[in-house]
Each structure stands twice: as C-alpha cells, then as structure tokens.
A and B are shown apart, each in its own frame.
Chain A
C-alpha cells in the first residue's frame, strides 16, 4: 500500500480536504519516513561518517516537529469547523535552510549562522503556510548555496542521493531534492542561482522549477547572487510544482524586484496538451565547453549518450503529442554562461557576505581581538568555509576599481548577449518562434561523493546548461526523463520566455502523460527499499 508520504501533494491535499485522512496523519507519515531514511541531521563538528550514515539521506538540518504538529492540528481544526484551509491544506513541505523562518534556526549551512534564529519569516514560506502547508523543517544545502553537490555544507553529514547514497544529491538545493525524492515532505522550497533547483532535481529524479526572475519574492532568502537568485518549487511531479508555484508566486511589497504581473492559475491548463507548440533543440546544449587550464583553449566535450538519448526521446514524445520540434536553434553564448556567472555572482556574493562580521548576529570569534579589524578577520576566518572564502576573494578581486571594467562590466555585457540568444529564439516574429527550448538539465547524472568537491571550476561546469536561464532571468523546469545505465535519474529541461511557466508546465505534464507507462517510471529510489 502506498504510504501517505508517497502521495502527491495534490492527491494528499484532496484527501485531507475530503476528510479521508487528517493533516496530523499526513504529518506522522512524513515523520515516520524521516525517521526511517534520513539518519542524523546535519550538524557542526559532527564527527566521522559511520557506515550507517553512509546509507542515509541526511536531508535535514533542523526538524521543526512541534511547529509542524501545531500547524497540522490547526488545519484539522479548521477542517472540522468547516473552514477551507487552502489548496495545500495539510501538505508537509521542507524549506532549504537559506530562507529565514521566524523562531527557527536559519543557518545557510554555515558556521557563520549556526546560532542565528530568525525574527521574521521569508515571504514564500509564509505563503506556503498561508496556503495550508505544514513546514517539517529546514533542509541542507551547500554553504550559503555555494556549490553543486551539498558537500560544502558546514552541517555534516551532508545529504546523500536517495537513488544511490554513494552519490551526491547535487546542489545547492540538494537537501530539498533529496527530501522530496525520499518522501520526506511532498514539496520543498529551493533556490536557483545557476541551476541550484534544477540540477539537484535532475540528480534526484524530481521536478524542479526556476521561475522567471521576480516571479517569487526573495524577501527572507539569504542572498547569494541577488540579480540571479530565484526561489522555486521542488516537487515529485509537474502538477504539484504548479500547485506550489500558485502558492508562492506574486508581487511582494517587501521585494522591489518582485514582478507585479498577476499570477495565473498554473494548474488550469496542465491537461491542454502541446498541439501547435514550437519546441526547439539547440546543438549548443548538447555539449559542454570548458576552459582547459593546460592549453589555455576552450574545449568541447559531447554529453554522455544516455543523456542525449533521453532528450531526443522526449522530443519524439512531444512531437507525437502534436508539438513542432525545431532543430538547430543557435544559442552561441551558452558557452560563456559559466565564466560570466563566475564574475557576476561572486561580486554580488562578496558584497552580500559583508554583513556577516560578528557584530550583530551569528558567529563572533571567542578569541580576544586586539582591535576591530582583527575581530572581523578572526570571525570571518573561523566561520566561513572554503566556498564562501573563494567567492569573497574572487568577488573582491574582480570588482576592484582597476579590474571592474575588465571583468564585472564585461561579464554584464556577456549576460546581455546570453539574454539576446533567448530573445531571438522566442521572438514571435523571428526565425524560430519558439515556445520553449528542450535541453538536458545537466551534463552528467549524479556523480560520486568526493569526485569533484574542492575543484570549484569543475563543480561549476555542472551548471553550464542551467546557468544561462539565470543570466537571462527566464523560467526553466527540470523534470525526470529516464534513468541512465547505472539506474540514476536523468533530468530534461524546458526553458521558456519570461513568465511562460504555465506553458512549460503544460509541456512537462504532456511529457509525463506520454511516458506514464515507461518502465523507468516504476523505479524507486534505493533508500526506499
């Protein structure tokens, strides 16, 4: 029998509303799953990894069981009183620990904020709760979101892939993707700066949505690259993701960059099919281009065959469903996405990290500091891990007055060229007139833990196919598209023009229906037995 925690959010909410199950029962099911598969939560100075640890998911940093129970009971009480408690009534969800939630530790997976309890709640979290969602707790991530594997979290053990715990979950929203994949809450709130929602969603076999920049408020999201950061849903299927985006999207008087455009009902057109839609394939998304430090040249490498094949099969399925597949769409600036991202995100990150100075909150060195400057130095040296330090160093370097033109201003120009690639592809009066691009989400499936950690550059190339959407501000979705030879999930990605989330959901939902009977759909993550 299917456990409640394995139901989709839509299904679970419907059953709770109908009175078939209670919100407390749904919560208990999720808590039981957490107890069974999650193992010990991430913590500072947590000692060596045990054999048992190596088999667990470790999605959580903080489980907020009491808070969740109070919320679930309140939902049940509302239902009993005949009130309508919102579209996500009683649905357990998790929150990437980069969002502040009043009264809970909000750590950013950093020693710097390990002792920080937020006095206010992030807008998207508040909206999920207002929609009836029940927050289970805060899940792990790369420190301050800086990474693509979650290995850089200061809270160890870091999350491990539910499909194969010797593999990474991806990142930085790795705890979110792992939790959803393992049934530890049907939904999770993540953030995407270069692919941080879509890449772990691909690695963990779930749906990840990076909405249009500004579609979801950033208020309460501890900033990485402020011009890139997008909160978004991680869910097990498209319908749930649409349901979640319904709850979190919309204008916010507390975020000046939040879009004021009205929010459509993303679930409304899900079953409308893809007839007549123009879906593009670009050769620039079927290779990865990287800088070879030995030769000083840009080099290209094709993607693994099973990833390419998965995308081509998806194109066939969508074509069968009535979409028009447009091949050879040029996206020539895709290759510059990572270098430009390195510069822009690090300038913003270094500045965003300035506030962590030991003065007001968070870590302050216990050592006696001779003066202010040495207090700053000791505090920051002790509490930032290597990833924040790398970003500070590079960010400070490339934004220095004498280098800013050469790096930062240039990266901004590259960014606008990347945006132009998309504008041309989607231009309704242009050559291609695309409704969406179909691409692989990642150049590989989940890599083994320890393989690339520390090699910051290589780790970042994991984001090459996702980062251009962040530069351009456009929406993108990663959804499961099969398994590779090792049985690991493959993600396929849909990218659309600004505010085209509803269209992307429609395409994704059509693909789900077209592949409903596929053998890989029946596979379950290894940790679920």
Chain B
C-alpha cells in the first residue's frame, strides 16, 4: 500500500509535483499516464524518496518514509523494488551478480543468496544467461535482469518508470506479462508509469492521469489484456495506411 498526502516537489522554483494526494491499495496495478513533463517520473520517485518532497508525507507498506532515519529508510527501500526505462544495470557485473548484489545489501548469507538469485532468474526466464554481461543481452533481456534484481528481496511494491518505452512491441508484451505475473503470484503492488495508452490499458486496474504536476483524475478500468498491445505487423501497416490517407486528403 502506498499513500501520498499533500506531496509537492519543486526543482529550482519549477513546481514538478503540486500537492498530490493518492492512495494505492495493496496488490493493485496502478497506471500513471500523462504528457511529457507532467511529473509522472517525479511522482514515482517520490514513492521511494529518490526525490525528497518539499511538503507532505509518503507512507509505503505502513511506514512513513518521510519521517524515517537513514538506516530505517534503507531497510524500507529493500521492500520497494524499482525498474527504469534504461535498466541501469551494473555493466561490469554478470546477470547473476546484478541480482546477487541486491541480496548482499541485505546481508543474506551466500548459500541462501545463491538459491534466491536462481529462483528470480528462473522466474524471468534467464537462468541460462546467468554468466553473461548486460552488454551481451537484448533490451528485453536487460529489463528482465532488472526485474529479477528488483524482485530479489521480495518487495511488496514495484515501481516501474517507463519499463517498456525503449522496447519493441513483442518485447513489451513479454515484460508486461512478467509484471502481471508478479502481481498475480506474489500480490505485489505495481505502479506503472507510461505515456503509452496501450501499455496502461493492458494490465492496470486503476489509472491516474497527470497534468502540470497535479492529478487530473484517477479512474478504475478493466484491464484489456496484454494481447491488445499491438505487435502484429498488420497493425503497423493499418496505422501507416491510415496516416497515408490522411496525408492524401
């Protein structure tokens, strides 16, 4: 569960997020959509205090992050996974090591870590690539490593900042499928930031629309299913043809 009370953030006078109130219940997949610069990423980064709010309170998994001391905050962050558009893997670590490091931070003994790393890699279907380096992987595979890394500490919340925005449609479907599985199998609350309506509509239970740093509205939707994200080449063709006709007219 995540609640934001009256949360604001400004960057050198620019109000990126303005007094937002938002509650996301446990096990919900919550979409955040809006134009570029609307404040989606900033709002997401406020949820694990990657950005410190100027005002307001951030409560995640029952803990008021905004009033925690540094050590407690770090512990709380271990229960909040995060993945990014650009993956942000450690390129000098193997796939295995990238997942392992997040467990090392929590001080887990080696034997247990080994077991957990392999579990996570199996979950995202990468156990065979465990000794590869990120530079040897495709974008979709890199995002899977990032997901495995975020899952390693069994988080209750997973924050996703445009996780599919640099991937092609087929790969996007794969990643969305994994996110949906994480939600269904482990009850993880997922916050999914995207500017692609297709992506948001496919798996989200509720969607917040942002504009100018504020919440325009939050609506419940019925997830359309992942197959509705267009990967069929005929869809591209149809869209191109439509564009062409518009030009002709």
Instruction: Say if A and B assemble together.
Output: no
